[in-house]
Amino acid sequence: MEMQMPEGAALYVVATPIGNLGDLSPRALEVLRAVDLIAAEDTRVTMKLCSHFDIHTPLVSNHQHNEENSGPRIAARMQAEGLKAALVTDAGTPAISDPGTYLVRACAERGIPVYAVAGPTAMGAAVSVSGFDFHDFTFYGFLPRDKGALEEKLRRMPCASEGAVVHESPFRVKDLMAAVLRVLPEAGVSLSCDLTKLHELTVRGSPAEVLAALEENDKSEKGEYCLVLDLRSCKTEDETPKTEASLEGQLLEMCFQGLDLREARESLIQKGYRKNAVYASAVAVKKFLEAQDNG
């Protein structure tokens, strides 16, 4: 029986398998077959999915490098022609560390209904197999590549929630775990790779134990990783000694480590410094940096 859809334009945000094709839901399959077009992160990847499930819906490109323009353009076309579209990424749920936000926003701004077609997400899968029973966690997506900015981000995590979830590529996962060992040695770690695939692997333990397991695995640079951290045993920023450096000095130091001035400013406010004093110091630092650039 043909799927019943509302009249007029509509967008369906469709979660697709993160590995095992059997995880595509019956509703997702119905939607992908019933819509007028599919906005895909990589049309080549989505074409393989469509071929496997005998889906013949036309595809349009909506990836990280063009979505700022393609999102509004697709939404305008949907509105003008009364089209129904599905938004997909290469794997998992769109607009969560993946493209899709611009199209969702453009449709919402035009009054086009946006519907969630729930399904696989690496974040949820990794937390579910971690074994951690924290009551709240923060999802960070991919962390900064710069060493100083990365360590500062990790250092602030225990202040935010009991747990943290991070995505990482196989080529940087050892560097990430080494940083976790330096900054959060007391954290509990659950590191998952190739979730839902044939060689799915989850390593649990201390940062030192998980890093050692990566070093011993000659296939560690294959597959995508999702890291779950239990932060309940970690010291928070408030428990660490306050530096004697001036606010301006602390702001400059964090900027040199890779943070932008806004991030450095917010970091000091989170540590308990008075907001007005931090803002005044940030203005002074901004003027100093601009003078250096002009000089």
Q: Render pLDDT for 27-76 as a digit per residue (tens, 0 to 9).
A: 999 999 999 999 999 999 999 999 999 999 999 999 999 999 999 999 99
Q: How distant is the alpha carbon of residue 134 from its chain centre?
A: 20
Domain-embedded: residue 1: no
The rounded percent of the chain whose pLDDT value lies above 90 is 72
Residue 244 predicted with pLDDT over 60: no
What's the confidence (pLDDT) of residue 13? 98
pLDDT digits (tens, 9 = 90+) for 95-146: 998 999 999 999 999 999 999 999 999 999 999 999 999 989 999 999 999 9
What's the confidence (pLDDT) of residue 163? 97
Taking the CB of residue 130, how many other CB atoms lie within 10 A of it? 24
The reply to whether 39 and 80 lie within a common domain is: yes
Instruction: Specify the number of domains making up the chain.
Output: 3
Taking the CB of residue 119, how many other CB atoms lie within 10 A of it? 18
Which of 120, 150, 168 is a domain's end point? 120
Which of 120, 140, 165 is a domain's end point? 120
Q: Give the whole-angstrom CA distance, residue 165 versus residue 191.
A: 10
The reply to whether 207 and 176 lie within a common domain is: yes
Residue 172 predicted with pLDDT over 90: yes
Q: Could you tell me the CA-to-CA distances from 237 to 59, 77, 153, 251 in Å, in that order?
A: 48, 49, 11, 16
Which of 120, 143, 165 is a domain's end point? 120
Which helix (H) or strand (E) covers residue 14, if one does?
strand 10-14
Domain-embedded: residue 110: yes
For residues 261-279, average pLDDT: 83
For residues 179-184, average pLDDT: 96
What's the confidence (pLDDT) of residue 2? 60
For residues 216-234, average pLDDT: 92
The model carries a pTM of 0.76
Domain-embedded: residue 2: no
The reply to whether 20 and 107 lie within a common domain is: yes
Q: Give the whole-angstrom CA distance, residue 178 versus residue 170.
A: 14
Nearest-CA neighbor of 14 among 27, 4, 1? 27
The single residue listed with the structure tokens 């969560």 is: 96
Strand, helix or coil for residue 236: coil
Average predicted confidence (pLDDT) for the chain: 91
pLDDT digits (tens, 9 = 90+) for 74-90: 999 999 999 999 999 99
The reply to whether 89 and 127 lie within a common domain is: no
Which helix (H) or strand (E) covers residue 37, if one does?
strand 37-40
What's the confidence (pLDDT) of residue 260? 87
Nearest-CA neighbor of 12 among 89, 75, 88, 97? 88
pLDDT digits (tens, 9 = 90+) for 195-223: 999 889 999 999 999 999 999 988 888 88
Three-state secondary structure of 106-163? HHHHCCCCEEEECCCCHHHHHHHCCCCCCCCEEEEEECCCCHHHHHHHHHHHHHHCCE
Q: Higher-confidence residue: 20 or 97? A: 20
What's the confidence (pLDDT) of residue 287? 84
The reply to whether 269 and 256 lie within a common domain is: yes
The reply to whether 166 and 227 lie within a common domain is: yes
What's the confidence (pLDDT) of residue 238? 52
Residue 235 predicted with pLDDT over 90: no
Nearest-CA neighbor of 273 among 227, 224, 237? 237
The reply to whether 104 and 135 lie within a common domain is: no
The reply to whether 229 and 142 lie within a common domain is: yes
Nearest-CA neighbor of 262 among 287, 286, 291, 289? 286
Q: What is the CATH number of the domain that holds 229?
A: 3.30.950.10
The reply to whether 186 and 255 lie within a common domain is: no
What's the confidence (pLDDT) of residue 243? 47
What's the confidence (pLDDT) of residue 295? 61
Note down the domain range covering 135: 123-237
Beta bridge partners of 115: 12
The reply to whether 104 and 134 lie within a common domain is: no
For residues 223-228, average pLDDT: 94
